[in-house]
Structure 1
Amino acid sequence: MPGDEGQLKRRLKLRHVVFIGLAYMSPFAVFDTFGIVSRSTDGHVPASYIIVTIAILFTAFSYGKMVKLFPVAGSAYTYTRRTIGSGLGFLVGWAALLDYLFLPMINALLAKIYLSAEFPSVPGWAWIVGLLVVITVLNIVGVKITATANVLMVLYQLVIAIVFVVLTIRVITADNAAQFSLGPFYSMDMQTGSLFAGASVLALAFLGFDAVTTLAEETIEPKKNMPKAIFLIALLGAGFFTAVTYFMQTLFPDVSALSAITHDIAAASPHIALYIGGIVFQTIFLSGAFISVLSSGLASQTSASRLLYAMGRDGILFKKFFGYIQPRFGTPLLNIVVIGIVALTALFLDLNTATSLINFGAFTAFAFVNLSVVAYYLRQHGFRIVRSAVGWLIVPLIGFIINVYLWYSLDMVAMIVGLSWTAIGFLYLLYITKFFTAPAPQVAFEEAE
């Protein structure tokens, strides 16, 4: 039909959206933080996954409602702007920008952790700088990783993760000292505060589960299928992460057991791979880890540079710099370089602090998605309690409270950096709105897609 020209076509079924969402949640994310969370929770990583899953499910419920109302890109930024206010929406988007800016840093740090386990004689900084140079150059020249390649890389990681679990179970059953129990989920001496601190780090594994909301215009029956997809992605991801860490924690129930195979707890996973499968499997495992950080690093730097470009193009940031496109390659070269430079902070941070920096923006976004549902309800019904109050008021309020508590449990350095970043955003908002006498700027996400 002529009227359909230039519009997105609805071709994605429920299963397509679910797979795309699972692809965003890299299978190898489960290995990235196991060591540090096992230390902080004293051997209760699966229990922390249960806590963060509860928070994610409440938030997924709110995402499902919001995507029905606003089936466009922008996620938490758009929902907050349209239900609460443009100024607050800007600040939520500004805080969430931390995710985009620092995700390449996480991948560089993980590259150092994984590859240093295989090549301990190579300085750690060399892996960080090397990966960032590679992904920066590839992004500048406009490399495109096809959907097929992404699917294959995700499947490769998934197969390795499954083999990892099988080998772990084999060692557990052959080891008289290890036994299956509920210990990883509950023990008399477990501390609630440490479990929430661990959960605040593990949210990294769920980043991107909300990304499928941007596919609403291409999904068949989006009001029916999109909420289902969000819940399925969250549940399947949570089940996978919890199961894998349960077997890992059963084999290595506490930090002392992990310390027996490595002095670097952050790099526990590759050493576990060596312990359960020998040098051959460790090499295969590290190949999957490298593919994970390379593909994720490319994608995250691409996304971050395009977001900065959208903000520059729309005059929110300095247009001549952030809105610049390099004529030969057709890419936002300056933005790509900026993201690469920011990612070099991996040279000075540990994994716990770096992860918390990412999750500062994530928990801010998650909390305000829940709050957006409440704001929409109050706008429609005021303070009258109607039959829909449970789904539109009580459930999102619980989700909001859980996310705020997890946000409060973040690493102190991350809190200082995150709050300072938000304060800068507020001062910048005052400047561009002339002390709120002019409307808050907005990003035209639809144009940036």
Structure 2
Amino acid sequence: MNSTPDVASRSTTALGPQLRRRKSINMMISDAENNAGAGQLRRTLGMWQLTMISVGATMGTGILVILGATVPIAGPAIWISFVIAGITALLSAVSYAEMAGMVPVSGSSYSYTYATMGEGLAWICGWCLVLEYAVSVAAVAVGAGEYVNETLRTFGMELPASLAGGPLEGGVVNLPALIVVVLATLLLVRGMRESAIVNTIVVIIKAGILVFFSIVAFSAFNAGNFEPLLPMGAAGVTAAASTVFFSYIGFDAASTAGEEAKNPKRDLPRAIMLSMLIVTLTYVLVAVSAIGAREWQWFDGTEAALVQIVGELTGQPILVLVFAVAAVLAIASVVLTVLYGQTRILLSMSRDGLVPKVFSKVSPKTGTPVAGTLITGILVAITAGFIPLGALADATSIGTLFAFALVGVSVMYLRKKQPLATRTFKVPFYPITPILGVLACLFLMSQLGGETWVVFGIWMLVGIAIYLGYGRSRSRLGRLSKQDYIATHVGEK
């Protein structure tokens, strides 16, 4: 029952019933323990490391590179946009916390959806996660180039144009982006324990530079910069909230570590909630201090805004150098942890037969999916180094919001179908909280532009074609007879 069908095999289940087939939680846990003979991941992560994975995947992405694009939209009220996006993410985070405690495997919202809404929506969710993780990794890596240039400018130098952007951007390759992804890939191949140690150190550095920035910015704080608070109206604030939600992408990375956590049912919910608290408070603090230090119009078109503010206020090139280097490290930690999450989601999808088996093979030497990590890292490195992402990067927010909404629905489904199941964390104020989380996600999705929706629609059509052309015929669950399928769900309604 646990063997993956031969490539030449074809699904014996009609499409409609197959799309509705759910994978039992017990079967997921059994697969995690056995991994269909492909090797097991190693349980080496405690709550602190899990928290740092979430913080590392989240904090820094938006606050370091997104202010120049969003402050002109929201004005001084940009901090309110961060609060709105943070509340939306928090409403989803509590649902993630409950599901992570119930389904302690590597698939994150893909696995949660498979257990509740069936293979069809699970595939769509997984395909959204590929967009969220792989494309956002490439987009974040590209942001490292500007901070590398800020570092070099301290010495009166700058990257040549040929190494600062891809062929369609007037260059040859975005070298800093490519290098960051390659280094993160090699570290992940070496082992998760080593990666977690490096990530924890870098996250501490990241938090340190953001606190340092806030101290410097508050030294030049001008309350008048917040008047008028809403020059673009409430519509500008909500529009910016949809964009800055990109800054919260990654908090769910800890949920992909379900099979490498020492005590996943206890530690995953705690890590998710703690990371959200740390990230949201830090974002609001930095946004308020930045606006206090500079009028909101100053941010229009400004890249690497935080470094520029530090340089202008201190007049110390050495501080700019330290800050810029730390910023590159901060972005590198996002690349490391989000790339980690992508490889673990592909591992879960591979076990189910929906993507090639190579992604679920775990090296007995390192305890990591070496081949899958290398393949993913190479593809992301090429994307970051040579291909301008444009609207595809914006579409990551739609994919993420959709996946978050599905997790909220998953919580409500299991509360109804398995009310007596053990839960190490329960969503507070149920069912109001998950309902609000789903509605908030749908609202932010509605605020994104038409071009972004078109790109997202194309992405979904490609995903559906891949499922119908590859995944459906190789699905382990789809290959089960009706009797065998029912047997896997004994004890579940």
Q: Shorter-chain TM-score: what band? A: 0.7 to 0.9
1:102, CA displacement in angstroms?
A: 0.9
Q: Which residue of 2 aligns with 1:367?
A: 405
Residue number in structure 1 paired with 2:253: 211
Q: 1:340 matched to which residue of 2? A: 381
Q: Is the 8 A contact 2:95 2:408 kept in 1?
A: yes
CA distance in 2 between counterparts of 1:213 and 1:370 reads 14
Query: C-alpha separation between the residues in 1 aligned to 2:264 and 2:341?
Result: 24
| Corresponding residue of 1:446 | none
Change (3 A) 1:421 1:272: same
Paired residue for 1:157? 206
Report 1:267-346 matches (<5 A): 267-278=304-315, 279-301=317-339, 303-304=341-342, 307-308=345-346, 311=349, 315-318=353-356, 331-332=371-372, 333-344=374-385
Residues 98 and 269 of structure 2 are in contact (CA less than 8 Å); yes or no, is this contact kept in structure 1? yes
Q: TM-score, normalised by structure 2?
A: 0.72
What is residue 448 of structure 2 aligned with on the other side? Answer: 410
Aligned equivalent of 2:78: 45
On the 8 A contact 1:21/1:208 being kept in 2, the answer is yes
Aligned ranges 1:213-228 → 2 under 5 Å: 213-215=255-257, 226-228=268-270
Q: 1:249 to 1:105 in 2, by over 3 A?
A: same
Moved more, 153-162 or 51-60: 153-162
Matching of residues 79-94 of structure 1 within 5 Å: 79-94=112-127
Aligned equivalent of 1:445: none
Structure 2: state its 5+ residue gaps: 1-32, 35-39, 166-171, 420-425, 481-493
Alignment partner of 2:177 out of 131, 148, 153: 131
Q: CA deviation at 1:59?
A: 0.9
What is the total number of aligned residue pairs between the two structures?
A: 415
Q: Which residue of structure 2 aligns with residue 234 of structure 1? A: 276
| Structure 1 Cα separation of the partners of residues 217 and 272 of structure 2 | 30
- Note the aligned Cα RMSD (angstroms): 3.9
Report if aligned partners of 1:45, 1:198 keep a CA contact under 8 Å in 2.
yes
Percent of aligned positions with the same letter in both sequences?
Answer: 22
Name the amino acid aligned to 2:292.
Answer: T
Contact 1:72-1:214 at 8 Å conserved across structures: yes
Partner residue of 2:486?
A: none
1:199 aligns with 2:248: no
Q: Which residue of 2 aligns with 1:385?
A: none
CA distance in structure 1 between the aligned counterparts of 2:44 and 2:201, rounded to whole angstroms: 24
Q: Structure 1 64/314 Cα, relative in aligned 2: closer, same or farther at 3 Å?
A: closer
Q: Give the stretch that moved more between structures: 303-312 or 366-375.
A: 303-312
One-letter code of the match for 1:132? L
Higher mean alpha-carbon deviation, 231-240 vs 118-127, is at: 118-127
User: Are the structure 2 counterparts of residues 85 and 40 from structure 1 closer, same or farther at C-alpha, using a change threshold of 3 Å?
Assistant: same
Q: Which runs of 5+ in 1 are unaligned?
A: 173-177, 382-387, 443-449
Aligned counterpart, 2:129: 96
Task: State the SS of the aligned residue for 2:223.
Answer: coil
**Pairwise CA distance, 1:199:** 1.5
Cα deviation code 1:63-102 (max 9, x no counterpart): 2222232222211111111111221111111111102221
The range that moved more, 20-29 or 419-428, is 20-29
Q: Does structure 2 retain, via aligned residues, the 8 Å contact 1:102–1:357?
A: no
Q: 1:224 offset after TM fit, Å?
A: 5.5
Task: State whether residues 21 and 233 of structure 1, in contact with CA within 8 Å, keep that contact through their aligned partners in structure 2.
Answer: yes
Distance in 2, Cα, partners of 1:431 & 1:75: 24
1:81–1:89: 8 Å Cα contact kept in structure 2?
yes
- Structure 1 length-normalised TM: 0.78
Match of 1:72, SS state, is: coil
Q: Distance in 2 between matches of 1:389 and 1:291?
A: 34
Separation of aligned partners in 1, 2:52 and 2:476: 43
Residue 435 of structure 1 deviates from its aligned partner by 9.5
* Residues in 1 aligned to 2:262 and 2:389: alpha-carbon distance in whole angstroms: 44
Match of 1:56 in 2: 89
